[in-house]
Structure 1
Amino acid sequence: MKIMKIRILIILFCISLMLIVVSIIDSFEHGYTDQPVESDLIVMLGDGEDSRMQQAAHLYYEGYADHVLIIPVVESDDLNQSTALAMEYGIPEETLILEYEAISTYTKATITMDIMEQRDMDSALIVTSDWHIKRTKYIYDKLNDGRFDFKYISALPFQDGRWHEGGDGFYVWYSEYIKLWVYRMGIYWWSE
């Protein structure tokens, strides 16, 4: 009987170890991006590099949507999520939808869907950095009950390089790994 318990414990340990290894290997894959399609809205998620706004402007000028949501807007010369920067990249002010309250990827998703519902929109291109796209896709898809069609567009063509090529690659990986698991456990408030 004692040998059987030890075997079960060893098997459980091996399964747990295997799951941890698979989870860590999966955490390094941040290369997902959709092909853009014509949509009702382009959503530029703030808190990243200028590349997000550049990608949003590029998609706007390519004719993928008539409106650009900046979420959240921070009116500052030092940040990359202001109306001034959007207009500097050529997005007309009258096409901008501005949101000031979002404080996390979770609140960005809920507020985006509220805005889309209020404006009777069905589809959006969600623009974010390559390192942030996995968690963004996870939470937007989880909260979407089928009302909206989202495509996730990486700002990679305008970034200085891939997320792991910078000096803070380990921090980016570790931070996103923890935050994604926090989201998977449903404790979104912890990431705010």
Structure 2
Amino acid sequence: MKIRIAGIIFCIALMLVVTSVIDSFNHSDTDTPEKADVIIMLGGGDAGRMEKAAELYHAGYADYVMITPENADIYPQSTEFALELGIAEDAIIEEYKATSTYTNAVESLNIMDDYGFNSALVVTSDYHLKRSKLIYDRVGDGQYDLKYIAALGAGGEKWNERSYADRIWFSEFYKLWGYRLGLYNFIDVPEEETDL
């Protein structure tokens, strides 16, 4: 009897692991953009994030673009790059405190409150979208109308077409599970401009 119970527990655990791994390859849950109060561009990744935010801004989806965090030392998340892409200076909202996806959510939603914004398009890399959605929905607790928009890489490639796709997958796999378990401070370190 004990062997049978152990076998059942092992099979259930194996199914959970296999399901989790299969789900970790699915990063295609981008929303259809809708008119919003602000576009929130999450720092990190490459220029593709800001390029997507600028595309949405120019298409009239929002009058403001928030950069979280704005970092003049990292060109793809700088106000200088936003201006180069044609985003008006008075349309740019700079956030400086965020150091991770979790703090991106905390700080940008606080700024939304300060501005009286109720809706946002959250723009980040395709591989980073699932984790961003998880944490923004958790921190926002249903108070905001948020849509999540995936940005391709600066060269137009999807995450799995990059030469380092295996590192992207592994990084997001363990970080997503860490976020699901509420371990933000232990697993989420600032992203470097050339890293994930």
TM-score, shorter chain, exceeding 0.5: yes
Tell whether 2:53 aligns with 1:51. no
Count of residue correspondences: 188
The reply on whether 1:147 has 2:143 as its aligned counterpart is yes
Tell me the distance in 1 between the aligned counterparts of 2:153 and 2:169: 20
Within a 5 Å distance, the mapping from 1:175-190 to structure 2 comes to 175-190=171-186
Residues 16-61 of structure 1: CA distance to partner in whole angstroms, max 9, x if unpaired? 0010000000000011111111000000101111111111111111
Look up the match of 2:193.
none
Match of 1:151, SS state, is strand
Show structure 2 runs of 5+ residues with no match: 190-196
Cα distance, 1:153 vs. partner?
Answer: 0.5
TM-score for both structures, normalised by structure 2: 0.93
RMSD after superposition? 1.2
Choose from 110, 113, 132 the match for 1:114.
Answer: 110
Match of 2:192 in 1: none
Amino acid at match of 2:68: I
Alignment partners' CA distance in 1, 2:148 and 2:154: 15
Instruction: Give the 3-state SS of the residue equivalent to 1:189 in structure 2.
Output: helix
CA distance in 2, matches of 1:125, 1:159: 22
Paired-residue identity, %: 50
Query: Secondary structure at 1:6's aligned position in 2?
Result: helix
What residue number does 1:10 align with? 7
Structure 1 runs of 4+ aligned residues shifted over 4 Å read none
**Larger of the two Rg values belongs to structure:** 1
Shift of 1:160: 2.7
Cα distance in 1, alignment partners of residues 143 and 15 from structure 2: 37
Give the TM-score normalised by structure 1.
0.95
| AA of the residue aligned to 1:85 | F
In 2, Cα distance between equivalents of 1:15 and 1:114: 41
2:122 partner SS: strand
Structure 1: give runs of 5+ residues left out of the alignment. none
